[in-house]
Structure 1
């Protein structure tokens, strides 16, 4: 057997635990992993996995080769560092040493969770992602856009929006590359900078409908979230994160997607046209 054939055979025997397997990134990671020939063990509440209940972890981790970790609320929450550290140590104790963590680019509040992973004894890789393109097509921002307006506290700052399919492809490539990316922190961005206003304009053009962008102060946005019933402690964290991330610290692109995948990242315009064709923003 050649070396390449042996690598392929080893990859096809891999079992990967994917947390958040029904979510925005986890579902794509699971799909990409299956496409690469990996066996996927989905970890979500539907499968009995609960980040807040450590007794649900061992069954999914036992006899796995690697895991993708995505904390369900915000990676910057105080609970994230504790949960990620505990799960990572449990995984290592069960022989699952290869762990990839989804983190947030530029979010200082995420650093304790990253450090918890690093200190667990795992062969870790951290994937810091910028804002997802799919935040415009999935989740709480969609409803307003369907009705013709995105209200968001981003001002006119520019962001290199990243397609979650690129995140998934990078995660799977990292998991199947042996130790090549162990101990690395990768920052994933799209290929160009866009303001939220420009992003909404590209979506508007793709749909043929008029969608406007209305920037609001961060605190005003927080008050609106409170009015929608978001818990006060979650609102406080989001406001802290937004105030930091909207200062322009992420207004530059990286080449990490190309380094790992050997191709340029997907462009926001491609995302907008595909989502519009699928009827994402139709009332």
Structure 2
């Protein structure tokens, strides 16, 4: 864990979350957080891009705003004390959208912001998309807004999507990744949102219980899903060539390929105890994630 001093610029913050807003409730992580809060009876405001897409949860209201629309964000966040900010989709203007959100939160009077970042966020991260998170973190640190940063590793839930026709291909070599389950990140987020003052100024690395190679991930998928999977090493040149047919912009292909090279370089291998210490339970492993993802058997 790394810790960053809070710069509250004289702003006080109540021990509890006060009025709470959650972004990303239509997605995998934000949806988990919103459902957990609803199950606990916590009122919340769900920030969505379309009102009809907001999940119907007890105690939840919807406010419409896009990360790039400063005026709509200020209105949606008016009266909010604590906000959970899920990082935006991977887009060319992602950093601009993040900074717009943070500035709108400050203008609206938000007292504390919880942001989902990435474990290797740095200006020279191997994983190129982590540069976006670093820029957002730096803006938060300089903003004077009380905040907590959750630096998530790759999601265990995401690893199966790396396989195409049963094969995970990429230049990861024998590197290891301490990937974390979205369920565990959501549990940490809910704990932090419940006591934002206690976690002000903190940056938490969130990982699974151990680091695995992609060959081990494929073997686990084979065992749990009862279908054959394997990992196939690619050179850097092969990795770019095999992804060229998607026609994606260069920055996005760089992000895809550098996911693997970050694993190869050991950037994602360090295991943290923060899930257990904050959520109060050990993180789940890849096999358990796969079992939870598997459809219920027909009867």
* TM-score between the two structures when normalised by the length of structure 1: 0.83
The equivalent of 2:98 in structure 1 is 84
Q: Quick check: 1:175 aligned with 2:193?
A: yes
C-alpha change, 1:252 and 1:240, in structure 2 (3 Å) is closer
Q: Whole-Å Cα distance in 1 between the matches of residues 230 and 262 of structure 2?
A: 24
Report how far residue 238 of structure 1 moved.
4.2
Match of 1:113 among 136, 146, 164: 136
C-alpha change, 1:211 and 1:136, in structure 2 (3 Å) is same
Tell me which of the two structures has the higher relative contact order, counting C-alpha pairs closer than 8 angstroms and 6 or more residues apart. Answer: 2
Q: Quick check: 1:58 aligned with 2:58?
A: no
C-alpha change, 1:67 and 1:219, in structure 2 (3 Å) is farther
Report how far residue 21 of structure 1 moved.
1.9
Alignment of 1:20-59 (within 5 A): 20-47=24-51, 48-59=64-75
Alignment of 1:223-242 (within 5 A): 223-240=241-258, 242=260
Greater mean deviation of Cα atoms: 98-107 or 206-215: 206-215
The equivalent of 1:130 in structure 2 is 153
Report how far residue 278 of structure 1 moved.
4.2
Alignment of 1:1-283 (within 5 A): 14-47=18-51, 48-74=64-90, 79-108=93-122, 109=131, 110-137=133-160, 140-141=161-162, 144=164, 147-240=165-258, 242-278=260-296
The equivalent of 2:12 in structure 1 is none
Report how far residue 196 of structure 1 moved.
1.1
Please state whether the residue corresponding to 2:20 is helix, strand or coil: strand
C-alpha change, 1:232 and 1:178, in structure 2 (3 Å) is closer
Q: How many residues align?
A: 262
Q: Whole-Å Cα distance in 1 between the matches of residues 83 and 38 of structure 2?
A: 14
Alpha carbon RMSD of aligned pairs, Å? 2.4
Q: Whole-Å Cα distance in 2 between the matches of residues 44 and 221 of structure 1?
A: 36
Structure 2: 5+ residue stretches without partners: 1-14, 52-63, 123-130
Structure 1: 5+ residue stretches without partners: 1-9
